[in-house]
Structure 1
Amino acid sequence: MARFNRHDESFDSPKGFSALNPRPNRSRDRFGRFTEAIARGMGTPWFLLGLTIFAIVWMGFNTFAPPAWRFDSYAIGFTALTLILSLQASYAAPMILLAQNRQDDRDRVQFEQDRQRAERNLADTEYLAREVVALRLAMKDVATKDFIKAELRSLLEELEKEEAPSTAKPVAKTPAKPAAKKAPAKPATRPASRTSK
């Protein structure tokens, strides 16, 4: 009996689940959506207003608070605030670029879909134009009501012309038979009267 070898690369047996290299359960797109959300948030006036208020409060507190409470000295140029804003800017720029790349990919896909839709619309329009031309050509061959009336009228006139000579022909006179000669009328004779003697 063959022994099972885990490192065997044959395709007839399934490769087992490795605990060292677990398959990621999360979508690769989740980080992209996260960066887009941050970039979208940074592009709003509320973010700019909040960052301005944060910087004013930070500088005001470290300038006017009692020296024991200050954690970022005005004398050294608000080093902690500068560090925070630099870190924020260094992370914001790549996130904005990632979001812009994702938007470019979406725009490319949208452009491709728009191009395919435009090609389909053009093909449909050309097909419909050909069909309309074919219908116009076919309608030229179709007999219209006026054409049928004119044809029927001409046929009726031809029939009337053909029938008119046959009805107007004079009837051929048959030669009259000579009248039979009458025998001359016999004079009426009186019967002889008897004379009495």
Structure 2
Amino acid sequence: MSNKNDKPEGKEPESSWKDVIYNPRTGEFFGRTGRNWGLVLLFYLLFYGFLTAMFAFTMWVMLQTLNDEAPKYRDRVASPGLAIRPNLLNIVFNRSNPLEYGQYVQHLESFLHQYNDSEQAKNDLCMAGQYSDQDEEPQKKVCQFRRSILHHCSGMEDATFGYAEGKPCVIVKMNRIIGLKPAGDPYINCTSKFNSLVK
């Protein structure tokens, strides 16, 4: 009769959970030898390296088709984008308290700084009614726009931009519209509908 403790000959001892992590008999780590792990790592390095290279090449080809100056696709009629300064929807202030409208004045001053005479001197002096087409130019040129043109709203005559008098200035700037010609058809006339309200 045999005991329960007797092990049958020729049978390997049962593997423990430690052998799953590292098996000292076969030299396997998580079921793979060092050589197998090296081949798996090499495969994934090559696979993901190829995917990265293919993605980078595709992006490079696509970026070569883009123009830095104008979008490739656009509507036939471009809508002008308007920038309003001060950049607030609701302007509330007490004209007798300079602290209340100081932020508006500071916002306008920082916006108009780029239109100082010293900053505008590097731009082209364009004559009224004469237009130049710069479609083929690699670097576009800009006409001078001096802030003194804005008269009362320039901040040069009145440093408070009219806020101290209760007649605040709000500057509306039209963004660049690609393909818009200032003269020709259709002609755009930007005049006030109510002349008595605007000074």
- Length-normalised TM-score, structure 2: 0.23
Higher helix share: 1
- Higher RCO (C-alpha 8 Å, min separation 6): 2
Structure with the larger strand share: 2
Higher radius of gyration, 1 or 2: 1
